[in-house]
Structure 1
Amino acid sequence: MPYITTDDGTEIFYKDWGSGQPVVFSHGWPLSSDAWDVEMKLAADNGFRAIAHDRRGHGRSTPTWYGNDMDTYAADLDALVRALDLRDIILVGHSTGGGEVVRFAARHGVGRVAKIATAGAVPPIMVKSETNPEGTPIEAFDAIRDAVLADRSQFFQDLSAQFFGTNRPGSTISQGQRDQFWRLGMQAGFAAVYDCVKQFSETDFTEDLRKIDVPMFIAHGGDDQIVPIAAAAEKSIKLVKDGTLKVYEGAPHGIAGSYQQELDKDLLEFWKS
């Protein structure tokens, strides 16, 4: 299997499908690159080179004790980009991965990144504060950490309902989709799962977003129960220079079902534009 090794010795697993302009995918917490398989095939089938990595501590990458922070995640992505000598990159990030690609683009991607697309992304900042009253209270993230410590397996099973919106009337998301969320989450290293909660909730991406000067497509589910749109996409679109916001009415956080079908059409159009 293909890996790169970072400066601190961490092995980062990645997939590399097809050829053409690179589309680089970054997954959400607590998943892996497998979460992007449908979109990677879409890209490779349409003349793009699809690349996705397992974030350190997730999937098949080293289950690190150190470096489970957003700056290191972005540096790891930079190491992958440089190892593969990628240029004219289209970045795609979901949830925590949306934060990762935004930080990478702002700090490492100048001259290499052509476009950015995010879906249900955590920027600018999730946690509630005096300056971010629309955010989620810190107690909610403390509860996630407590649940991870108490019974991670059951917590991931329960969380999949909110993630995919199966707790809403009329949901058509299968049990298999929920099981896949649990499976990928259980593959992640315990330290990374715990530490990443702080990273996706408390990292402030405001200045990163202001630095982005390439076209950015910001997608968000209108019924996202994990990353509420009012503190995320609706604020991010006001910070970027060349952004387009699309809200998928009634769509959840997880990319599946009819939401996935519509989003994938829009992603392909954005990649080709």
Structure 2
Amino acid sequence: MPYITTPDATNLHYTDWGAGRPVVLLATGVMSSRMWELQASHLAKRGLRCVSYDRRGCGRSDWPWDGYDYDTLADDLAAVLESRDLRDVTLVGCAVGAGEAVRYLARYGADRVSRLILVSPTTPFMMRSPDNPDGIDRAVLDEMTEAIEQDRPRWAAELAGPFFGGADAPLYPAAAADPARLPVSTELARWMADLTLDSSPRATVEICRTLFTTDQREETAKVPLPTLVIHGDADLAAPLELCGARTADLIPDCSFVRYEGAAHGLFASHAERLNKDIVSFLSG
């Protein structure tokens, strides 16, 4: 299998499909690049070179103990772009992948990147603080960390329903009894939950901590590229007004698309619409 080795000797598994203008897909949370199945094939078939990779600690990449801060994750992205000599790149970052992309631009500039697409982003700053009073209380992160450490399979399973269906969706164990309440098949929801478990426990906790506690307001406001932000207004994991809307307001050259009634996992629940929006933005 193809791997890229980072400067700190971490091996990252990647796929490189198609030919043409490169699109680099950055996954959500601790899912591997397999989550992009409905996008990668679609884009490659339409004359684009589609590159995706498993973030460190996830999937088929190495599972080191450390390196789950945005600086290191951005350095990993730089290693991928440089090793494949990718230029005129469109970065597509989902959730934590958005923070990764923003930090890459802050550290490395836009020489290799020409456009940015942020899907269900967790930027610019999720945690409540004196100057971010509408943020989410730190206790939510603490509760999630405890749930992950006590019973990670249950945490992943119960996350699946709200992840794809929002507040009205059943918890995953009940989904099979009433599949109409989920916008994806129960089989797909189960597969995505399994992808979440194909990661190290350490990476799961530390990546969640990074996306929750990192203040990226200043660097988000300095993004120098044409950007498209896509966000569902029923997103529980990254609330639209706190994340997508504020990100779009901060980026100087930004278009914002709201998916009404959509939750966090747009890459699966709204795959056809998302694919069309990505292609349309790249064609503009």
TM-score category (smaller protein): over 0.9
**TM-score normalised to the size of structure 2?**
0.93
Give the distance between the partners of 2:274 and 2:80, measured in 1 at CA. 26
Runs of 4+ in 1 over 4 A off after TM superposition: none
**Separation (CA, whole Å) in 1 of partners of 2:252 and 2:241:** 19
For residues 151-178 of structure 1, give each alpha carbon's deviation from its aligned partner in whole angstroms, at most 9, with x where no partner exists.
0001100011111116526433211122
Query: CA-atom RMSD, angstroms?
Result: 1.3
Matched, 1:146 2:128: no
* 1:197 paired residue among 182, 192, 208: 208
Aligned amino acid, residue 111 of structure 2: G
Q: How far 1:238 sits from its partner (Å)?
A: 1.6
CA contact (8 A) 1:166 1:173 kept: no
Q: Match of 1:172? A: 183
In 2, the alpha carbon distance for the partners of 1:48 and 1:256 equals 18
Aligned length: 273
**Where does residue 117 of structure 1 map in the other structure?**
117
Report what 1:260 is aligned to.
Answer: 271
Aligned-residue offset at 1:121: 0.5
Deviations 1:62-107 (A, max 9, x none): 0110111111000000011001111000000111111111111222
For residue 176 of structure 2, what is the aligned residue in structure 1?
Answer: none
Asked if the contact 2:165–2:182 (Cα under 8 Å) also holds between the matched residues in 1, the reply is yes
Amino acid at match of 1:218: V
Partner residue, 1:61: 61
Unaligned runs of 5+ in 1: none
**Aligned sequence identity (%):** 34
**How far, CA to CA, are the matches of 1:270 and 1:144 in structure 2?**
35
Which shows bigger deviation, 215-224 or 232-241? Answer: 232-241
Contact 1:134 1:230 in 2 (8 A): no
1:244-272: CA deviation from partner (whole Å, max 9, x where unpaired): 01110000101255522212111110112
What does 1:1-40 align with in structure 2 at a 5 Å threshold? Answer: 1-40=1-40
- Who is 1:80 aligned against? 80
CA contact (8 A) 2:267 2:274 kept: no
